[in-house]
């Protein structure tokens, strides 16, 4: 993935969140996270003070994940379980109470936005919301493991430097965008766009599996013409036929954005939340030329 970012920050990024989540030390607390981003944020805070295990397998999106019988068995042994909430992890509804008691929603106190009257769970794509999540994780860990409270606070301070720098860079560069309209395959970019003054135009709703009506497609055609849109953004690993059709009809290019719901095992060797967000931003900037 190509990156354009201050060298010092990029160096810190690439060394801040590398780990082997399969190594479990029985002398430490064990934390399970519901999908990749929460795993990344939790690791930034706890580092080596706890085992952090991501439930959602590599390459699987969180809304498609269903825990296996082995996952359920492992959750009985968990000390804490971190989830996003906002309707993303529907599999938690039928969990045994003993497991439910260990669940912590890390998005508490984040202002929830809606798309077509439905709560949008993609809060983490706004770096300032990710900061709130890390604050929540720090508070939870400090109460659970008060002996290491100072360690968690210091970890948070280091993470805040990185994430605030990321936010500052985005705010500065977006001011130079000549076109503030972003056409996406489905409405996953709302929190990012609302934070940085961009206008999200979505072909589909919050679900990538929904299909637009002919009337909705006609509205997309008009928006492309009205706003002089040259690029349609799709999620990585996604290739919806409707996007290909629209791009061909309106002579738009197709570019990718990673919604940070999952990373492949290979990507996790060199990438993390910040590096992926930098790459996403560079793709937005390239499509804005």
Pair (138, 184) in one structural domain: no
CATH code for the domain of 127? 3.40.50.1980
Residue with tokens 């860079």: 169
Pair (154, 243) in one structural domain: no
Round to whole Å and give the CA distance between 14 and 157.
17
Q: At what angle do helices 127-144 and 36-46 cross, to 10 degrees?
A: 50
* DSSP structural state of residue 112: P
Round to whole Å and give the CA distance between 229 and 53.
41
The answer to whether residue 3 scores a pLDDT higher than 80 is no
Determine what percent of the chain is predicted with pLDDT higher than 90. Answer: 81
Digit-coded pLDDT (tens) for 156-190? 999 999 999 999 999 999 999 999 999 999 999 99
* Domain housing 200: 177-287
Q: What is the mean pLDDT of residues 222-248?
A: 93
Digit-coded pLDDT (tens) for 53-110? 999 998 788 988 999 999 999 999 999 999 999 999 999 999 999 999 999 999 999 9
Does a structural domain hold residue 2? Answer: no
* DSSP structural state of residue 5: S
Q: Which of 87, 152, 144, 95 is nearest to 120 (CA)?
A: 87
Pair (159, 22) in one structural domain: yes
Percent of the chain that is helix, strand, coil (3-state, to 5): 50, 15, 35
Round to whole Å and give the CA distance between 204 and 213.
9
What is the distance, to the nearest Å, from the Cα of residue 102 to the centroid of all Cα atoms in its chain?
Answer: 22
pLDDT attached to residue 67:
94
Pair (26, 153) in one structural domain: yes
Does a structural domain hold residue 1? Answer: no
């Amino acid at each position: 993935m190509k990156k354009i970012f201050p060298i010092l920050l990029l160096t810190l990024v690439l060394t801040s969140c590398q780990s082997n989540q399969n190594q479990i030390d029985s002398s430490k607390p064990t934390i399970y996270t519901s999908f990749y981003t929460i795993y990344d944020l939790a690791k930034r805070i706890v580092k080596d003070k706890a085992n952090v295990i991501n439930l959602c397998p590599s390459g699987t999106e969180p809304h498609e994940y269903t825990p296996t019988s082995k996952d359920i068995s492992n959750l009985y042994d968990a000390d804490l379980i971190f989830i996003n909430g906002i309707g993303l992890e529907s599999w938690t509804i039928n969990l045994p109470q003993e497991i439910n008691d260990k669940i912590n929603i890390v998005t508490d106190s984040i202002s929830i936005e809606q798309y077509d009257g439905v709560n949008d769970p993609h809060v983490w794509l706004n770096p300032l919301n990710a900061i709130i999540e890390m604050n929540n994780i720090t508070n939870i860990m400090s109460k659970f493991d008060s002996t290491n409270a100072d360690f968690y606070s210091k970890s948070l301070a280091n993470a805040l430097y990185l994430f605030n720098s990321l936010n500052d860079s985005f705010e500065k560069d977006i001011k130079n965008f000549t076109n503030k309209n972003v056409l996406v395959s489905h409405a996953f970019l709302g929190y990012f766009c609302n934070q940085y003054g961009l206008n999200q135009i979505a072909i589909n709703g919050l679900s990538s599996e929904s299909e637009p009506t002919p009337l909705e497609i006609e509205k997309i055609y008009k928006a492309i013409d009205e706003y002089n849109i040259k690029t349609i953004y799709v999620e990585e690993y996604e290739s919806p036929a409707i996007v290909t059709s629209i791009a061909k009809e309106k002579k738009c290019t197709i570019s990718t954005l990673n919604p940070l719901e999952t990373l492949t095992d290979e990507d996790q060797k060199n990438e993390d939340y910040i590096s992926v967000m930098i790459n996403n931003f560079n793709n937005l900037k390239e499509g804005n030329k």
